[in-house]
Structure 1
Amino acid sequence: MRITWFAWLVQHADKYGYSDGPLRATIGTGAVLVTAALLWFALHRNRPAAMAAAGLACALGFGWLAFH
């Protein structure tokens, strides 16, 4: 399943904001992941809130990268 998903993503990379090149895509993806990690560590005492905040940050961040 993971290989199929990765193959699909590579096939449609130009439709999801990764047509600007691998460097810009890597920087954007890394920024989203770092933001999610910072939210997780800031809210680590309340695990459900940390999971929700990190998940929302990832969803919004990757959505932003995909469509802008």
Structure 2
Amino acid sequence: MRITWFAWLAQHADEYGYSDGPLRATIGTVAVLVTAALLWFALHRHRPAALAAVGLTCALGVGWLAFH
């Protein structure tokens, strides 16, 4: 499921931006948070790596949504 999610997100990445209104911004933010949650579940055995991956994903994802 994780690979399918990342593939789907990559395919639709241009549709989720904050400049497109509140609905799309909410959808984009939820997509970033779901991606971060999937990374957490994938790396949960190595907590420092999981925290770093989730933090980086959230920061980059929300930052990308804000500036594109």
Same fold flag (TM > 0.5): yes
In the other structure, the counterpart of 1:33 is 33
Q: Which runs of 5+ in 1 are unaligned?
A: 1-16
d(CA) in 1 for partners of 2:49 and 2:21? Answer: 34
Aligned residues: 52
> Equivalent pairs: percent with the same residue?
88
In the other structure, the counterpart of 1:44 is 44
d(CA) in 1 for partners of 2:62 and 2:48? Answer: 21
Question: TM-score w.r.t. structure 2 length?
Answer: 0.72
d(CA) in 2 for partners of 1:64 and 1:22? Answer: 16
Runs of 4+ deviating beyond 6 Å? none
- Which amino acid in structure 2 is aligned with residue 64 of structure 1? W
In the other structure, the counterpart of 2:21 is 21
Question: TM-score w.r.t. structure 1 length?
Answer: 0.72
Greater fraction of residues in helix = 2
Instruction: Give 1:18 shift.
Output: 2.8
Write the deviation string for residues 2-54 of structure 1: whole angstroms up to 9, x where unpaired: xxxxxxxxxxxxxxx53421110010000000000000000000000000000
RMSD: 1.1
Q: Which runs of 5+ in 2 are unaligned?
A: 1-16
